[in-house]
Each structure stands twice: as C-alpha cells, then as structure tokens.
Structure 1
Amino acid sequence: MSTVSIIPIEEKVDVLKQKNVPVAKASKTQDYAMKFVSAALSNMAASGVSNPQDVIKVRQQLRTHLPGGQKNAFWSVGAEMARAEGVKSLMNGFTASMLREMFYSGLRLGGYEFFKDKYYAASNGALTREGITLKVLAAATAASLGSAIANPADLVKVRMQAYYPNGSPYKNTRHAFASIFREGIASSTGRGSPILAGLGALYKGVVPTIVRGVVLSASQICSYDQVKQTLKKNGVFEEGIQLHMTASLFAGLFCSITSNPVDVVKVRSMTDKTKQFHGVVHCIRTILVNEGPLAFYKGFGMCWGRLGTHTIVSFLAFERLRKLFGMDPM
C-alpha cells in the first residue's frame, strides 16, 4: 500500500524561493504576455471587419477640394471605388493592417495595464487606480511605443489604400515595403547611410502617427476603462456583455472626435511623395489655409463608423479572450 505525502503550498513556495525561482513574477509576466496576445488578436479581428470603412476614410481624407464639395460622402466614395476598381479594392492594405495591429494594438492595449501597474507602484500611492491621471499616463506610454514600432506597417497600409489614377504601384505588401525603402535610398543626398535613408522613408509621418496613437488611446482605452468602472460602481451593470458593449460605444465616439484631425494630418503626411509639406506644422497650416478648419474632420462619418465598429469588436473580443485565458476582466 503506497502513501501519498501532502506538502503545504507555503512549503512549496519556500522551496522555490530558495532555488531563486520568481514564482509571482513568472505568473505576472505570463499574464502580461497573454494580455498582449489577446489585444493583438482582438484588434486584428476588429480591423479585418472594419477594413472597407478604413479604405473609404483614407480616400476621403486625401481629397483636397474645398469643404462642401460634392461626391466626398462615404457612400459616394465607396460606390465609386467598387465601380472603378472593383469590390476587392475595399480590402486594400488588409495584410499591412493585420501586421500593424499585431504590434500597434498588441502594445497599446495589451501594454496598458502593464504601465498602469508600473506607474502605480512607482508613485507609491500618489496615483490612484480610480483616477484618470494614471490611466492617461499608461495609455500614452503604451500607445507611443506601439505607434513608433508599427509605423512602417501603418505607412504601407495607407499607401496601399490611397488612390492612384494609373493603378497602384504596389503588387503586394512585401513589394510596398521594398518600394518605399528604395524610395528613401533614391531620395538620399549621398551623405550618410543608404540603409538609414531607406528606414527613414518607412518612418515618414511617425510624429503624427505617435500623436494620433496617444490621442486615440487616451480617449479610447481610458474612456472605456472609466465608463466601465463608473457603471459598475453605480450598479448600472454587472460585469458582462452589456457593460462591455455600453462602455465600448462611448469609447468609440470619444476617440473618433479626438483623433480625426490628427488622422487627416497623418494620412496627408504619409502619402506626400512630392514633399509638398515641410513637416507636420506646415501640413496643418496648408490644410487650414487651403481647405478651412472643417477639413480636419473630413471622413468623420466613416472614421466614427470604422472606429466605432473597431472599438466595439476589439473590446468585446478582448474581454472574451481574457475570460477564455483565465484572466480577470479589464
């Protein structure tokens, strides 16, 4: 007859500590990693659903006629694209979009709670978890990192979604990356490294990209977190799909209002092959003088439609994946 020895959990932890095994740290690191994976997958799914809206939004934002001009409504642009370029054109930039979301949203949403924990610990209680300051700091840091790393994929996505009278110069995503890299080398003055010049071309528009990422994430993630927290605290909803849906609806509206102007500048900068703009400030001034302040809200209807859809799908999927992987709700 065999005997089974039962070792208390405290003794097991002591043994692991003696062997320098970071028990809590390992589980916490795994938790952050799973949040990154969940965020990347949920946002890739959301981006796939909203890709047609994203293409139409980019086309609207690139049109430079005066405010009030005709044929810039999203249905007109969409119908024109389907008629002239085929329905498949509404999925332009899909692969680049998936690549972008993997790094950009994996970091900005998946890293949000990582930075919240780090800032909270560093503040020694000066920043409260319920306060908006901690949330904005965490969202801004995660978004800055994600935007900077994913800029080349973002640039390729926008270039592939833009309109070209003589047909797209890009055969596929890989060809687009290579073409833009070669453009940078060709436009270099001969001073400095050609490799750096090529990489510089892939990082065109990185400043407005980071600004947009910070503005969008601070308004989207923080508003979702804040609205969800408020609704739960006041007993309006319990944790579940109704709460997630309501919070994501508010978040989609807030981030659309705040990010559309920056998005217009980002798209114009990224597609500026002729070097019409001499920097972000010059781009803003040119749009303002030539097209008026409302130009910064070109494509807003489709931006809201796209970001609203993206926000709802991404947060619902993110919360579901967290539950599937055994993590607490956001």
Structure 2
Amino acid sequence: MQLTDSGRVPLSRLVADRRCPLLHLSPSPGREEEISIMVGFKATDVPPTATVKFLGAGTAACIADLITFPLDTAKVRLQIQGERQGPARAVASAQYRGVLGTILTMVRTEGPRSLYNGLVAGLQRQMSFASVRIGLYDSVKQFYTKGSEHAGIGSRLLAGSTTGALAVAVAQPTDVVKVRFQAQARAGSGRRYQSTVDAYKTIAREEGFRGLWKGTSPNVARNAIVNCAELVTYDLIKDALLKANLMTDDLPCHFTSAFGAGFCTTVIASPVDVVKTRYMNSAPGQYSSAGHCALTMLHKEGPRAFYKGFMPSFLRLGSWNVVMFVTYEQLKRALMAACTSREAPF
C-alpha cells in the first residue's frame, strides 16, 4: 500500500471499515477524500463524562500498578534501609544497592513473589485513589473555573490539591497496608502479616483504628504535591504541544506528556514520599509525628536520605505515568465510543 506525500492513504486504494477507531476520515475540498492513519482510538465528538473518567482512571491506574509494582517495592525497601542506623553504619551494612541490585537480592533471598508483596492492597488503593484524584480532576477544575474552558495555573493547582487530599481521606488504610507489606521480608521470623485481610485486622487490633490512618498528614501532603506535579504538569505539557502544533492529540503526545510529568513529580515529591514511607512503616512510638520522623532522618542520615530510592522512584513514576495516562486516554475514548455506538447502533 502506498501513502501520499501527506502521509495519508487515498480512499480508492484502501478498503476498510469507516467505523474503525484506528482511522480518521479527513476530507479536503477539491481533493479525493483521504484517510489519515492515527494511533489508538479517535477522540469522540462528545467529551467523556465524569463517570467514564472516574472508572477509566481507576482501571488505568490498576493496569499501571500491575506492570510497575516491582519497582515500587524496590523503592520502599531502599527508602526504609538504614532508618535505625547512622549514615556511616547504614552505608557499610546496606543490604540493597541500586534498583536492579534490590530486585535481584529480593528474588534471591525471598523469591520472585516478594516483588509483589502488597499487590492486593495496592490495587485496592489505586482503584479508590486514582478514581478520585485523577478521575475527578477535570470536574473539580471546571468547578473552580466556573465552567470556563481556559483554566489558569492556579485553578489547576487548586484542583490537583483538592482531589489529591480527598483521595487520601477515602483510601488511606489501603496505603498503610500496602507499604507495610512491601517493607516486610517474606523470609525470616520478622514477617508481620500473613495476608491482606490479616494486615487490616492486626493493625486495627494492635494499634487501634488510628493505626490504619497512620501517616495521614504526610500522605495528604504527598498526594497534594504529587497530584499537582503529575496532573498539572501533564496538562501543561500536553496543552503546550498541541498549541504549538508539535504533536496531535494522539499516543505520542500522551507518552511525551506523561514522561515529563513523571520526572517532575519524582523530583518534587521524593522527600515527602520517603518520610511518608518511613512513618507508615514505623513501630508504635518510634516517631511521635511525621515532622519528628523527618528531623530524625536529617540528624542521623543527612539530607541525602530524603532522596533515597530516587532512581526506582523515577523509574516507577515515569513508567507508571506513561502506562497510566496512555491507558487512561485510550479508555476514555473507547468507553465513549462504546456508549455512542450503543445509543446510535445504525
């Protein structure tokens, strides 16, 4: 099949279903109707509803978690390493070194399944967290801009902070259980929980109901920061690429925007993420507050401790953002196309 100079296929040379979501019809005046090939589902004329965004965000986040969970587990192990030692002893006795070293050590000492410790709680977390913080972002942004299509940076940041904090209020216990599972070694006598349900019950029994909400303050701060960095950066990069006509609203644009959002988010959120992980995983009474945890880290391990696990954080957030946003954009279009087809089958 031969393409024209514009990268389009003449209609007379292509026999295809006009309803195919991978093809976009673009007739030109005075010329034979042509079809431009695009990657993924074509955007529908009707914008996605709040329900479609809510369900699509949760589903896309779960898919992203399934793919990137080992990187997240490696990040947690690196973040908690050395928390009971000074910086000199921590370096000397480090069990995990680097992303690949951490993953290989875990596979060798605990088995491959250890990389997916806490996956059930992680999926529970994403289905509730992402549905709220990502799925409701556009709706909240429109609320703050009173329905205006032109949202300023302030409205975007405010919307990101709101949905990020709201997500924590909905799903904090799932995050606590996920972190506890990822932090515990599968081998040895130090294992604290036998299953996801056991973790919920044990934490509630030994630490009270408040134990399931441990670390809420740093997690609210982290999610507000992450949501702003992630969604607002993605929003801004995508808008800039489209306005400058550098890319069309298609998979390459979504990929580029998501990768940039992942890097910016990692740089901004890593310190808060380390404190959140340490505090959530701490034994009762080890730290009096998240602030005390941060000060203890600074005193014992120095400023670099706040960027422990940076590389797995970036690998995880970068890849997670790419998978999540690309999947999310495609799911929104697929769901809306399905809804449209159901309403008008002929």
Range class of TM-score, shorter chain? 0.7 to 0.9
Does residue 1:171 correspond to 2:203, yes or no? no
Match of 2:286 among 249, 258, 276: 276
Task: Indicate if the aligned counterparts of 2:279 and 2:287 stay in contact, CA closer than 8 A.
Answer: yes
Match of 1:183?
A: 206
- Give, in whole Å, the separation in 1 of the partners of 2:120 and 2:325: 21
Amino acid corresponding to residue 235 of structure 1 in structure 2: N
Does residue 1:153 correspond to 2:191, yes or no? no
Task: Indicate if the aligned counterparts of 2:125 and 2:174 stay in contact, CA closer than 8 A.
Answer: yes
Q: CA deviation at 1:220?
A: 0.5
Match of 1:104?
A: 129
- Give, in whole Å, the separation in 2 of the partners of 1:73 and 1:246: 26
Match of 1:31 among 43, 49, 54: 49
Superposition pairs for residues 1-330 of structure 1, below 5 Å? 31-64=49-82, 66=87, 69=91, 70=94, 71-121=96-146, 129-164=150-185, 165-184=188-207, 198-326=208-336
Runs of 4+ in 1 over 4 A off after TM superposition: none
The one-character-per-residue Cα deviations of 1:131-186 (angstroms, maximum 9, x if unpaired) are 211111111100100022111000000001113452422121111111111012xx
Task: Name structure 2 gaps, 5 residues minimum.
Answer: 1-45, 338-346
The one-character-per-residue Cα deviations of 1:118-138 (angstroms, maximum 9, x if unpaired) are 11118xx6xx73421111111
What fraction of aligned residue pairs are identical, expressed as a percent?
33
Amino acid corresponding to residue 255 of structure 2 in structure 1: M
- Give, in whole Å, the separation in 1 of the partners of 2:284 and 2:99: 27
- Give, in whole Å, the separation in 2 of the partners of 1:179 and 1:110: 32
What SS does structure 2 have at the residue aligned with 1:326? helix
Task: Indicate if the aligned counterparts of 1:205 and 1:269 stay in contact, CA closer than 8 A.
Answer: yes
- Give, in whole Å, the separation in 1 of the partners of 2:272 and 2:182: 18
- Give, in whole Å, the separation in 2 of the partners of 1:129 and 1:206: 33
Task: Indicate if the aligned counterparts of 1:148 and 1:209 stay in contact, CA closer than 8 A.
Answer: no
Q: CA deviation at 1:236?
A: 0.4
Amino acid corresponding to residue 97 of structure 1 in structure 2: G
What SS does structure 2 have at the residue aligned with 1:256? helix
Amino acid corresponding to residue 142 of structure 2 in structure 1: D
Match of 2:342?
A: none
Q: Which moved more, 1:63-72 or 1:98-107?
A: 63-72
- Give, in whole Å, the separation in 2 of the partners of 1:216 and 1:129: 23
Task: Indicate if the aligned counterparts of 1:94 and 1:157 stay in contact, CA closer than 8 A.
Answer: yes
- Give, in whole Å, the separation in 1 of the partners of 2:123 and 2:287: 29
Q: CA deviation at 1:62?
A: 0.3
- Give, in whole Å, the separation in 2 of the partners of 1:130 and 1:152: 33
The one-character-per-residue Cα deviations of 1:253-273 (angstroms, maximum 9, x if unpaired) are 011111111110001110111
Task: Give the TM-score of the pair, scaled to structure 1.
Answer: 0.82
Task: Indicate if the aligned counterparts of 2:145 and 2:151 stay in contact, CA closer than 8 A.
Answer: no
Task: Name structure 1 gaps, 5 residues minimum.
Answer: 1-26, 185-197
Amino acid corresponding to residue 34 of structure 1 in structure 2: V
- Give, in whole Å, the separation in 2 of the partners of 1:307 and 1:113: 21
When residues 117 and 130 of structure 1 are mapped into structure 2, their CA distance, relative to the original with a 3 A threshold, is closer
Task: Indicate if the aligned counterparts of 2:184 and 2:192 stay in contact, CA closer than 8 A.
Answer: no
Task: Give the TM-score of the pair, scaled to structure 2.
Answer: 0.78
- Give, in whole Å, the separation in 2 of the partners of 1:144 and 1:73: 31
Amino acid corresponding to residue 60 of structure 1 in structure 2: L
When residues 171 and 163 of structure 1 are mapped into structure 2, their CA distance, relative to the original with a 3 A threshold, is closer
Q: Which moved more, 1:291-300 or 1:266-275?
A: 266-275
The one-character-per-residue Cα deviations of 1:180-208 (angstroms, maximum 9, x if unpaired) are 11012xxxxxxxxxxxxx32110000111
Task: Indicate if the aligned counterparts of 1:224 and 1:247 stay in contact, CA closer than 8 A.
Answer: yes
- Give, in whole Å, the separation in 2 of the partners of 1:162 and 1:107: 26
- Give, in whole Å, the separation in 2 of the partners of 1:138 and 1:43: 19
